[in-house]
Amino acid sequence: MIRLDERLAAIASYVRTDVRICDVGTDHALLPCFLCEQGARDVIASDVNENPLEAARANVEKYGFADRIRLIRSDGLENIPPCGDVIIAGMGGELIAQIIGGCRFTSPDVRFILQPMTKAELLRRYLYSHGFEIAEEKGAAVSGKAYTVMLVQYTGKNRGITDEFAYFGKNTDKRYISKVNGQLGKLGKGDPSLLRLIRKELP
Protein backbone atom coordinates (compact mmCIF):
# COMPACT_ATOMS: atom_id res chain seq x y z
CA MET A 1 0.00 0.00 0.00
CA ILE A 2 1.28 3.47 -0.92
CA ARG A 3 1.95 5.74 2.05
CA LEU A 4 1.50 9.44 1.39
CA ASP A 5 2.91 12.26 3.49
CA GLU A 6 0.43 14.57 5.23
CA ARG A 7 0.40 17.10 2.34
CA LEU A 8 -0.40 14.53 -0.35
CA ALA A 9 -2.86 12.77 1.97
CA ALA A 10 -4.71 16.07 2.53
CA ILE A 11 -4.93 16.56 -1.24
CA ALA A 12 -6.16 12.98 -1.77
CA SER A 13 -8.86 13.44 0.89
CA TYR A 14 -10.68 15.93 -1.38
CA VAL A 15 -10.55 13.82 -4.56
CA ARG A 16 -13.53 11.77 -5.73
CA THR A 17 -12.66 8.36 -7.11
CA ASP A 18 -15.82 7.92 -9.24
CA VAL A 19 -15.02 10.71 -11.74
CA ARG A 20 -12.21 11.24 -14.24
CA ILE A 21 -9.29 12.79 -12.35
CA CYS A 22 -6.37 14.78 -13.70
CA ASP A 23 -3.22 15.41 -11.64
CA VAL A 24 -1.54 18.38 -13.36
CA GLY A 25 2.22 18.51 -12.73
CA THR A 26 2.15 14.97 -11.42
CA ASP A 27 5.93 14.50 -11.22
CA HIS A 28 6.25 11.04 -9.57
CA ALA A 29 2.52 10.16 -10.03
CA LEU A 30 2.33 8.87 -6.46
CA LEU A 31 -1.02 10.58 -5.98
CA PRO A 32 -2.62 9.01 -9.10
CA CYS A 33 -1.32 5.57 -8.01
CA PHE A 34 -2.69 6.07 -4.49
CA LEU A 35 -6.07 7.18 -5.89
CA CYS A 36 -6.20 3.99 -7.99
CA GLU A 37 -5.54 1.98 -4.84
CA GLN A 38 -8.57 3.79 -3.39
CA GLY A 39 -10.70 2.70 -6.37
CA ALA A 40 -10.20 5.38 -9.05
CA ARG A 41 -10.42 3.90 -12.56
CA ASP A 42 -9.95 6.87 -14.91
CA VAL A 43 -6.93 8.98 -14.01
CA ILE A 44 -4.72 11.29 -16.06
CA ALA A 45 -1.22 12.02 -14.80
CA SER A 46 0.14 14.98 -16.74
CA ASP A 47 3.29 17.02 -16.73
CA VAL A 48 4.87 19.62 -18.97
CA ASN A 49 8.30 18.00 -18.67
CA GLU A 50 9.46 14.64 -20.04
CA ASN A 51 11.66 13.63 -17.07
CA PRO A 52 8.83 13.75 -14.50
CA LEU A 53 6.64 11.82 -16.93
CA GLU A 54 9.32 9.12 -17.08
CA ALA A 55 9.36 8.93 -13.28
CA ALA A 56 5.55 8.79 -13.38
CA ARG A 57 5.63 5.97 -15.95
CA ALA A 58 8.00 3.96 -13.74
CA ASN A 59 5.64 4.26 -10.73
CA VAL A 60 2.51 3.54 -12.77
CA GLU A 61 4.14 0.31 -14.01
CA LYS A 62 5.58 -0.56 -10.59
CA TYR A 63 2.15 -0.33 -8.95
CA GLY A 64 0.38 -2.03 -11.87
CA PHE A 65 -2.03 0.77 -12.85
CA ALA A 66 -1.13 1.21 -16.53
CA ASP A 67 -4.72 0.29 -17.48
CA ARG A 68 -6.19 3.09 -15.32
CA ILE A 69 -3.66 5.94 -15.52
CA ARG A 70 -3.01 7.79 -18.77
CA LEU A 71 0.23 9.76 -18.97
CA ILE A 72 -0.16 12.96 -20.99
CA ARG A 73 2.45 15.59 -21.71
CA SER A 74 0.72 18.94 -21.37
CA ASP A 75 1.40 22.53 -20.42
CA GLY A 76 -1.25 23.02 -17.76
CA LEU A 77 -4.63 21.77 -19.00
CA GLU A 78 -3.89 22.44 -22.68
CA ASN A 79 -4.05 18.79 -23.88
CA ILE A 80 -6.35 17.44 -21.15
CA PRO A 81 -9.89 16.19 -21.93
CA PRO A 82 -12.75 17.19 -19.57
CA CYS A 83 -12.33 15.85 -16.03
CA GLY A 84 -14.44 15.86 -12.86
CA ASP A 85 -11.63 16.56 -10.40
CA VAL A 86 -8.49 18.50 -11.28
CA ILE A 87 -5.52 18.48 -8.92
CA ILE A 88 -2.91 21.23 -9.23
CA ALA A 89 -0.42 20.87 -6.39
CA GLY A 90 3.14 21.71 -5.49
CA MET A 91 3.39 24.81 -7.70
CA GLY A 92 3.36 28.55 -7.07
CA GLY A 93 0.02 30.32 -6.66
CA GLU A 94 0.58 32.42 -9.80
CA LEU A 95 1.18 29.35 -11.98
CA ILE A 96 -1.86 27.58 -10.51
CA ALA A 97 -4.03 30.64 -11.30
CA GLN A 98 -2.64 30.68 -14.86
CA ILE A 99 -3.41 26.97 -15.34
CA ILE A 100 -6.99 27.35 -14.05
CA GLY A 101 -7.43 30.37 -16.33
CA GLY A 102 -6.58 28.14 -19.31
CA CYS A 103 -9.13 25.44 -18.43
CA ARG A 104 -11.61 24.85 -21.30
CA PHE A 105 -14.00 22.66 -19.30
CA THR A 106 -14.58 24.76 -16.17
CA SER A 107 -18.16 24.35 -14.91
CA PRO A 108 -19.90 24.13 -11.51
CA ASP A 109 -19.53 20.32 -11.71
CA VAL A 110 -15.73 20.39 -11.88
CA ARG A 111 -13.79 20.48 -8.63
CA PHE A 112 -10.28 21.88 -8.37
CA ILE A 113 -8.01 20.67 -5.59
CA LEU A 114 -5.27 23.25 -5.23
CA GLN A 115 -2.14 23.27 -3.11
CA PRO A 116 0.00 26.37 -3.67
CA MET A 117 3.60 26.35 -2.41
CA THR A 118 3.77 30.18 -2.52
CA LYS A 119 1.49 33.20 -3.08
CA ALA A 120 -1.69 31.58 -1.71
CA GLU A 121 -3.07 35.10 -1.18
CA LEU A 122 -2.67 35.90 -4.85
CA LEU A 123 -4.39 32.64 -5.80
CA ARG A 124 -7.37 33.35 -3.48
CA ARG A 125 -7.77 36.84 -4.97
CA TYR A 126 -7.62 35.36 -8.48
CA LEU A 127 -10.22 32.69 -7.66
CA TYR A 128 -12.80 35.05 -6.19
CA SER A 129 -12.39 37.64 -8.97
CA HIS A 130 -12.87 34.95 -11.66
CA GLY A 131 -16.06 33.23 -10.48
CA PHE A 132 -14.56 30.56 -8.20
CA GLU A 133 -15.02 30.01 -4.50
CA ILE A 134 -13.22 27.95 -1.88
CA ALA A 135 -15.63 25.33 -0.53
CA GLU A 136 -13.19 23.98 2.06
CA GLU A 137 -9.59 24.41 3.03
CA LYS A 138 -7.35 22.36 5.32
CA GLY A 139 -3.81 22.44 6.59
CA ALA A 140 -0.99 19.92 6.37
CA ALA A 141 2.62 19.95 7.54
CA VAL A 142 5.67 18.05 6.34
CA SER A 143 9.12 18.36 7.92
CA GLY A 144 7.97 21.39 9.90
CA LYS A 145 6.61 23.24 6.84
CA ALA A 146 2.91 24.11 6.79
CA TYR A 147 0.77 24.02 3.66
CA THR A 148 -2.80 24.77 2.69
CA VAL A 149 -4.99 22.57 0.50
CA MET A 150 -8.10 24.08 -1.12
CA LEU A 151 -11.22 22.49 -2.53
CA VAL A 152 -12.46 24.96 -5.15
CA GLN A 153 -15.60 25.16 -7.28
CA TYR A 154 -16.84 27.46 -10.02
CA THR A 155 -19.97 29.50 -9.28
CA GLY A 156 -19.68 32.11 -12.05
CA LYS A 157 -20.06 34.92 -9.48
CA ASN A 158 -17.14 37.29 -9.07
CA ARG A 159 -16.64 38.51 -5.52
CA GLY A 160 -14.21 40.75 -3.70
CA ILE A 161 -12.44 39.35 -0.64
CA THR A 162 -10.87 41.00 2.39
CA ASP A 163 -7.11 41.11 2.90
CA GLU A 164 -7.60 38.81 5.88
CA PHE A 165 -9.36 36.21 3.73
CA ALA A 166 -6.72 36.55 1.02
CA TYR A 167 -4.01 35.55 3.52
CA PHE A 168 -5.78 32.94 5.66
CA GLY A 169 -8.65 31.75 3.47
CA LYS A 170 -10.77 29.15 5.24
CA ASN A 171 -7.78 27.43 6.82
CA THR A 172 -7.97 27.27 10.62
CA ASP A 173 -5.02 24.90 11.14
CA LYS A 174 -2.82 26.49 13.79
CA ARG A 175 0.38 25.44 11.98
CA TYR A 176 -0.78 27.30 8.88
CA ILE A 177 -1.91 30.33 10.88
CA SER A 178 1.52 30.47 12.50
CA LYS A 179 3.20 30.35 9.08
CA VAL A 180 0.99 33.12 7.65
CA ASN A 181 1.54 35.23 10.78
CA GLY A 182 5.29 34.93 10.13
CA GLN A 183 4.83 36.03 6.51
CA LEU A 184 2.69 38.99 7.57
CA GLY A 185 5.30 39.98 10.16
CA LYS A 186 7.95 40.16 7.41
CA LEU A 187 5.71 41.86 4.84
CA GLY A 188 4.59 44.31 7.54
CA LYS A 189 8.06 45.91 7.50
CA GLY A 190 7.24 47.28 4.03
CA ASP A 191 3.49 47.64 4.50
CA PRO A 192 2.57 48.15 8.20
CA SER A 193 -1.17 47.88 7.38
CA LEU A 194 -0.61 44.11 7.03
CA LEU A 195 0.42 43.81 10.67
CA ARG A 196 -3.21 44.26 11.75
CA LEU A 197 -4.03 40.95 10.02
CA ILE A 198 -1.80 38.90 12.32
CA ARG A 199 -3.97 36.45 14.28
CA LYS A 200 -3.70 35.45 17.90
CA GLU A 201 -2.06 32.02 18.00
CA LEU A 202 -3.48 29.33 20.22
CA PRO A 203 -1.00 27.19 22.18
Ligand X SMILES: C[S@@+](CC[C@H](N)C(=O)[O-])C[C@H]1O[C@@H](n2cnc3c(N)ncnc32)[C@H](O)[C@@H]1O
The contact set with ligand X (CB under 6 A) reads 24-27, 47-49, 52, 75-76, 89-91, 95
Q: Cβ of 152: how many Cβ atoms within 10 Å?
A: 23
Virtual CA dihedral for 84, 90, 93, 99, nearest 10 degrees? -40
Which residue, 27 or 85, has its beta carbon nearer to ligand X?
A: 27
Task: For ligand X, give the closer residue by CB, 47 or 85.
Answer: 47
In the complex, minimum distance from the CB of residue 10 to ligand X, in angstroms, rounded to a whole number: 11
Query: Least Å distance between CB 155 and ligand X?
Result: 25
> Least separation, in Å, of the C-beta of 63 and ligand X?
16
**Closer of 88 and 184 to ligand X (Cβ):** 88
Give min distance, CB of 75 to ligand X, in A. 5
Smallest gap from residue 167 Cβ to ligand X (A): 22
Contact 148, 134 (CB under 8 A): no
Which residue, 28 or 199, is less far from ligand X as judged by CB? 28
Q: Which is nearer to ligand X, 38 or 155 (CB)?
A: 38
